[in-house]
Amino acid sequence: MRNLYRSLCKAEVVICGIGFIFLVGFVFLSAILRFFRISMSWNIDLAMFLLAWTAFLGADIAWRSGQLVGIDIVTRRLPQGLRKIIALVIYFIILVALVIIIIFGISLAVTERLRTYQSIPIPYSLVTLSIVVTALSMIFSTILKIRRGILNFKVNATGNEIQGGTE
C-alpha cells in the first residue's frame, strides 16, 4: 500500500510538471500568434484547463511536502505539547474542510457536466474534478500527518519523551 501511495505521489508530480510546461507553452504560443494577428482561442481554453489542474495538484504536492506558507507567530512560544495538540486540531479541521470540498465538488461537477468550453469540446466538469481529485489526495496526506502527529506526540525536538504532555 505504501509503494502504491509513493507511486501515485510521483505520478502526481510528473503530471503537474508536464501540465505546467504545456500551460506555459500554450500561453507563449498564444502571445506569439497574437503578435502576428492570428487568434487561436482553443489554446487559451486549454491553458485555463491546465491552470486549474496544475494549480490544485501543485497545492497538494506542497501540502504533502510541508512547503505551504504557515504562520507560527501565535504558537511559537507555546509549550511543545500544546503546539502538537493545536497542530492535530488544525489537521482535523482541514480534514473536515476537505471532505466538504469533495462533497460540493462532486455536486458541482455533476451540475456542469453538459457545459463545455467555447472552442474545445471539454466539459467544465473535468476542471471541477481537479478540485475533487486534489482534495481526495490531500485527505490521504492529512491522515498521514495526523497519524504521524499522534505517533510522535510524546517525543520533543531533541528526541526525548515529553513528561506530562508539556516540556
**Residue 96 burial by CB count (10 A; 0-12/13-18/19+): exposed, middle or buried?**
exposed
- 121 vs 113: CA distance, rounded Å: 11
Q: Write out the three cell numbers for 59.
A: 497545492
* Secondary structure tally for the chain: helices H, strands E: 4, 0
For range 10-23, the mean pLDDT: 96
Structural domain includes residue 8: yes
Categorize the per-residue pLDDT at 157 as very low, low, confident or very high, splitting at 50, 70 and 90: low
Structural domain includes residue 162: no
Domain that holds residue 41: 2-151
Structural domain includes residue 109: yes
Structural domain includes residue 27: yes
Residue type, 157: A
Model's pTM, two decimal places?
Answer: 0.83
Residue 117 three-state SS: coil
Categorize the per-residue pLDDT at 164 as very low, low, confident or very high, splitting at 50, 70 and 90: very low
Structural domain includes residue 164: no
User: pLDDT value at position 69?
Assistant: 77
For range 60-68, the mean pLDDT: 90
Structural domain includes residue 157: no
Q: How many domains does the chain have?
A: 1
For 84-127, the pLDDT digits (tens) are 999 999 999 999 999 999 999 999 999 988 888 888 888 889 99
Say which range, 29-38, 66-75, 149-158, has the weakest mean pLDDT.
149-158
Instruction: Determine which helix (DSSP H) or strand (DSSP E) holds 147, and give its type and residue range.
Output: helix 124-151
Structural domain includes residue 161: no
